[in-house]
């Protein structure tokens, strides 16, 4: 195991910013800690680097307990959001810093610096000063600086947060390629769900200091275990229901229960249907997809490649709002106008246990929470 956290906690005063986080990260894995700002994800990362001391728990890097060690003795590579390149040093001197501290031979250092400059695709930039580089270039140098001394693990704290959208997308790809090439275990902290999906081998969802769940991106998106995960990762249509026998009942509409949900039998649940899994039609559809009822089109929005349609359900689910994303074909076929009555069906869905948490309202209220660029 490359990184192992065992019940790590951190309190600021009486406030727990990280609560009993246990986590194991495989060698060579790129793990993304995803959470809103203030969720404790950065604090957790800084505890791994030794920049923050945990109040409880243990941290192991490659089997070595580093909980009490200062950052200098942990051998992690850390990339900061604001690059934090040393302003008075050239690009090459920045990259070389970790090697000169380790008293490597001048010749080896030079060679290593050139290797890294090639790796980050800035081979000719060694003699530049950091301020002569763009933000994206600076962050690549910061990455090279953190990789120069072959760190145990690579820790990235919102590394692309200060960059504009296009550069960000490009750097994500670069990072993923470099990380795989070197096989270095990495943790990346971000609040950007799209970024997480794109680079992560696995994602850990962190909320109010707690690691809610861990999984591969598609699993977390399609079959989350927590309502927070469902709403944080993209847009979620949540419909209150009850699982009985082999069906899930939305009022008196029965839809087949998804596999592996027997443990929710007899319980009040929520059906999670992603907007792209919602189908709308003027006539009652004759498909195998379960139809959940009728509604009135409230809004038709242009969303680039797709069409976003907001429908307010009528009848049994009076007031419930559902968001649908229609492909260009479907949008043309349906040709929806505001005020029209449509049938709503769900093509794929998952079940969530109804949470009785005080700050979550177990109502039929629409929980469309968009994050990142989708908003």
Partner 1 sequence: MREVTPRSFPAIALVVIVIAYAIILLVVPFITIIQGAFEDGLQPVLDTFSHIDVRHALLVSFVLSVIALSVNAIFGLITAWVLVRHRFTGRRLFDALVDIPFVFATPIAGYATIVMFGRTGWFAPTIIPIVFAYPAIVLVKIFVSLPFITREIQPVLGTLSPDYEEAAYTIGANRWLTFRRVILPEIWTALLYGIVLTFARMIGEFGAVSVVGGALEGYTETATTFIFRALKDRDNTGGYSMSVLLCIISVIILIVMNQLKSRFADSAVRQSQG
How far, in Å, CA of 212 to CA of 352, rounded?
Answer: 14
Q: Residues 250, 313: contact at Cβ < 8 Å?
A: no
Residue 88 Cβ vs partner 1, minimum distance, rounded to whole Å: 4
Q: Residues 229, 220: contact at Cβ < 8 Å?
A: yes
Q: Residues 125, 133: contact at Cβ < 8 Å?
A: yes
* Of residues 143, 130, 160, 318, the one with CA closest to residue 239: 318
CB closer to partner 1, 149 vs 160: 149
Residue 133 Cβ vs partner 1, minimum distance, rounded to whole Å: 9
Candidate list 31, 149, 197, 232; residue touching partner 1; CB under 8 A: 149
Residue 155 Cβ vs partner 1, minimum distance, rounded to whole Å: 8
CB closer to partner 1, 97 vs 249: 97
How far, in Å, CA of 352 to CA of 349, rounded?
Answer: 10
How far, in Å, CA of 142 to CA of 159, rounded?
Answer: 9
Residue 137 Cβ vs partner 1, minimum distance, rounded to whole Å: 12
- Which of 5-13, 87-95, 193-201, 285-293 is the region at the interface with partner 1 (rule: CB under 8 A)? 87-95
What does DSSP say about strands 253-256 and 341-346: parallel, antiparallel, or unpaired? Answer: unpaired
3-state secondary structure 134-191: CHHHHHHHHHHHHHCCCCCEEEEECCCCCCCHHHHHHHHHHHHHHHHHHCCEEEEEEC
Q: Count the site residues for partner 1 by CB under 8 A.
A: 30
Q: In the stretch 44-83, what mask flags binding to partner 1 with x, by CB under 8 A?
A: -----xxx------------------xxx-xxxxx-x-x-
Residue 51 Cβ vs partner 1, minimum distance, rounded to whole Å: 5
Residue 49 Cβ vs partner 1, minimum distance, rounded to whole Å: 5
Candidate list 40, 98, 126, 293; residue touching partner 1; CB under 8 A: 98
Torsion-angle region of 212 (φ positive above 0: left; ψ -120 to 50: alpha; else: beta): alpha
For 270, counting Cβ atoms within 10 Å of its Cβ (0-12 exposed, 13-18 middle, 19+ buried), the class is buried
How far, in Å, CA of 139 to CA of 163, rounded?
Answer: 9
Q: In the stretch 116-145, what mask flags binding to partner 1 with x, by CB under 8 A?
A: -------------xxx-------------x
CB closer to partner 1, 111 vs 134: 134
CB closer to partner 1, 101 vs 106: 101
CB closer to partner 1, 71 vs 258: 71
Encoded tokens for 322:
């559902």
Residue 132 Cβ vs partner 1, minimum distance, rounded to whole Å: 8
Candidate list 38, 53, 64, 102; residue touching partner 1; CB under 8 A: 102
Q: Residues 74, 49: contact at Cβ < 8 Å?
A: yes
Residue 308 Cβ vs partner 1, minimum distance, rounded to whole Å: 39
* Of residues 198, 322, 352, the one with CA closest to residue 261: 352
Output the CA torsion 160→165→166→167 (10° steps): -20
CB closer to partner 1, 132 vs 246: 132
What does DSSP say about strands 253-256 and 247-250: parallel, antiparallel, or unpaired? Answer: antiparallel
As a whole number of angstroms, the longest Cα–Cα distance in the chain is 77
CB closer to partner 1, 101 vs 177: 101
Interface with partner 1, residue 256, by CB under 8 A: no
Residue 188 Cβ vs partner 1, minimum distance, rounded to whole Å: 15
Residue 276 Cβ vs partner 1, minimum distance, rounded to whole Å: 40
CB closer to partner 1, 152 vs 367: 152
CB closer to partner 1, 26 vs 132: 132
Could you list the residues that contact partner 1 (CB under 8 A)? 49-51, 70-72, 74-78, 80, 82, 84-89, 97-98, 101-102, 129-131, 145-146, 149, 155
């Amino acid at each position: 195991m490359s990184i192992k956290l065992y019940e790590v906690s951190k309190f600021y005063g009486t406030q727990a910013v990280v609560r009993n986080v246990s986590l194991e990260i495989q060698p060579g894995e790129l793990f993304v800690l995803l959470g809103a700002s203030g969720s404790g994800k950065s604090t957790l990362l800084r505890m791994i680097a030794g920049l923050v001391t945990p109040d409880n728990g243990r941290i192991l890097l490659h089997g070595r307990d580093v909980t009490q060690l200062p950052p200098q003795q942990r051998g992690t590579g850390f990339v900061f959001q604001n690059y934090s390149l040393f302003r008075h040093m050239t690009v090459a001197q920045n990259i070389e810093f970790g090697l000169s501290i380790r008293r490597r031979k001048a010749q080896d250092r030079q060679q290593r610096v050139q290797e890294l400059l090639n790796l980050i695709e800035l081979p000719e930039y060694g003699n530049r000063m950091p301020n002569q580089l763009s933000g994206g270039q600076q962050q690549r140098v910061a990455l090279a600086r953190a990789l120069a001394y072959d760190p145990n693990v690579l820790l990235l704290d919102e590394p692309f947060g200060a960059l504009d959208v296009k550069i960000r997308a490009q750097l994500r790809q670069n990072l993923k390629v470099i990380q795989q090439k070197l096989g270095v275990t990495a943790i990346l902290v971000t609040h950007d769900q799209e970024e997480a999906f794109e680079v992560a081998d696995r994602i850990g969802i962190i909320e109010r200091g707690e690691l809610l769940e861990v999984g591969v991106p598609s699993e977390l998106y399609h079959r989350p275990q927590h309502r927070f995960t469902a709403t944080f990762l993209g847009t979620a249509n949540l419909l209150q229901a009850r699982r009985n026998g082999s069906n899930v009942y939305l009022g008196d509409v029965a839809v087949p229960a998804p596999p592996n949900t027997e443990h929710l039998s007899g319980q009040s649940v929520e059906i999670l249907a992603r907007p792209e899994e919602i189908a709308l039609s003027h006539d009652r559809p004759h498909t195998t997809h379960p139809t959940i009822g009728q509604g009135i089109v409230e809004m038709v929005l242009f969303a680039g490649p797709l069409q976003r349609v907001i429908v307010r359900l009528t009848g049994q689910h009076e007031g419930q709002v559902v968001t649908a994303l229609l492909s260009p074909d479907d949008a043309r076929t349906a040709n929806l106008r505001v005020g029209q009555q449509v049938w709503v069906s769900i093509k794929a869905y998952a079940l969530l246990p109804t949470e009785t948490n005080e700050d979550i309202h177990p109502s039929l209220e629409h929980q469309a929470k968009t994050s990142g660029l989708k908003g």
